[in-house]
Amino acid sequence: MLAKKELKRPIPPAPTGACTIAIVDNYLKEIKSGMKVLEIGCGVWSKTLDHCNKVGAHYEGLDVQEEYYGIKCIATRIENLADLSYSDSEFDIVIGNQTMEHWAQHGCTMEWGLYQCFRVVRPGGRVFLNVPIHFHGTKYFLHGKLKKIEKLFSKFSNNVKFESWGNPSDPIAPYYPHPNYQALKDKPAYVLDIESVKDRELPKGVSNTLGFNGRLSQIFHNSISYNLYRVRSKVFNG
């Protein structure tokens, strides 16, 4: 098997990727000339950057990694969301495609990451995040803890719209990324789109407690059953 670093992009996209494209097309309709847009966890996908250039909006992209599967990220700043260095209220729109489920794996808790997104967006500005459910990432997303995700967003916005795409399976075929993991048996992956407005003050007392990397993050931000499943899969599949 090739080491992760040696992999040339792309690993085949998940079927849910088709939903993400349609979701991002909806975000792009909101971007107008003169706006300032920040994309969190931009990776190498330049759809939003290209659109900003086309309509005359200013684009900033943030990623914690310089490369994604051997290809240079399009980020204008290589930085962790946990340490976001942009000023308060600097952006009209903050976008994150398929990134929030990974924040805690890179030392930025979901709550702290959301705090940073809402800090840098102007009052009345929009935060658009889409995440895979039952696919990968930290436990709220892997296990589809929608109530917990909703509670988290309610600290930052009174106006949050959640929309499931590809759930239960239409228009994509049912897709089970972890066929041997009992907890996700009969739970196909889909995409959750979360669109919110900055319509309230930032909450007080939010911090990056439990913002761990690596193994510690796995222990704290994944379920026990998933940790055991990963260990078992490693032992048996090498």
Instruction: Say which amino acid occupies 222.
Output: N
How many Cα neighbours within 13 Å face the side chain of 156?
A: 31
Number of residues written out for the chain: 238
Q: How many Å apart are CA 177 and CA 234, to the nearest integer?
A: 16
For 217, the 3-state DSSP assignment is: helix
Residue from 16, 98, 109, 167 touching ligand SAM (CB under 6 A): that is 98
Provide the token pair at 216.
Answer: 């510690």
With CB under 6 A, what is the number of residues at the site for ligand SAM?
A: 19
CB of 211 to ligand SAM, least distance (A): 9
- What's the closest the beta carbon of residue 102 comes to ligand SAM, in angstroms? 4
Q: For strand 58-63 and strand 190-197, is the pairing parallel, antiparallel, or unpaired?
A: unpaired
Pick out residues in 107-136 that bind ligand SAM (CB under 6 A): 108
Stretch that binds ligand SAM, among 4-12, 94-102, 143-151, 214-222 (CB under 6 A): 94-102
Under rule CB under 6 A, residue 45 binds ligand SAM: yes
Q: Which residue reads 């310089």 in tokens?
A: 66
Q: Omega before 177 cis (within 30°)?
A: no
| 33 versus 213: smaller Cβ distance to ligand SAM | 213
Cα–Cα distance, 207 to 180 (Å, whole number): 36
Closest approach, Cβ 205 to ligand SAM, in A, equals 21
Candidate list 62, 114, 149, 194; residue touching ligand SAM; CB under 6 A? 62
**Nearest alpha carbon to residue 230 among 186, 188, 180:** 180
Q: Kindly indicate which of the ranges 4-12, 28-36, 100-108, 186-194 contains the residues binding ligand SAM, using the contact rule CB under 6 A.
A: 100-108
Give min distance, CB of 68 to ligand SAM, in A. 5
Q: Using CB under 6 A, list all residues that contact ligand SAM.
A: 41-43, 45, 62-65, 68, 80-82, 97-99, 102-103, 106, 108
